[in-house]
Amino acid sequence: MTEVNQGIAQATRVPASRFFVFALLAVAGTAADLLSKQWVFAWRGLPQELPEPWWLVEPYIGIETAVNQGALFGLGQGKGWLFAILSIVASIGICIWLFVFKASISKWLTVAMGLVMGGIFGNLYDRLAIPNMPAEFRGGVRDWILFKYQDYVWPNFNIADSLLVVGAIMLAIHSVFLQAKEPSLVERS
């Protein structure tokens, strides 16, 4: 290998710490989501078992169990199998983009996609019907965080959803503000 080719290979090598950060965020995010769902559903039961939400800040922020068998804002109800397939495809695509196409050279993108992966895995666990839920809830995603303001009630969500949103916002920020400041792979060589 010539010196120029060695320089290019070193300039585009993904630091080992990026694999660790990505995996740590994905595993920690998934664990936080699944443990919180398990705890809340054990405490509050299935949807509508308790008539009133438990309020952390009454009447704005509360805990109320719900099961969403669709996607964002309940769209696509009953198509959990489709969202499970899309989650698996997205997970594979993220890993390829980060580590084969070397987007993980960016710390920002590594963190953003680690959060997204934690969110994907947390909701995928539910979609694959791993928590032994009654038939009418099977394949749905367990949600429990409730926001309400006057007559408006935000659809219940969970930690996985929060991770997905934060990761998506970070990706948008990167696209609009940070991407132009990062040298491309060609410029690094």
Tokens read off for 87: 């989650």
Tokens read off for 62: 């509360």
**Which DSSP category does 189 fall into?**
-
Q: Which amino acid is at 86?
A: L
* Catalytic hit among 33, 126, 143, 151: 143
Residues 6+ apart with CB under 8 A from 12: 102, 105, 185, 188, 189
Q: 161 catalytic, yes or no?
A: yes
* Burial (0-12, 13-18, 19+ Cβ within 10 Å), 115: buried
Q: 143 catalytic, yes or no?
A: yes
Q: Which amino acid is at 154?
A: W
Catalytic annotation, residues:
143, 161
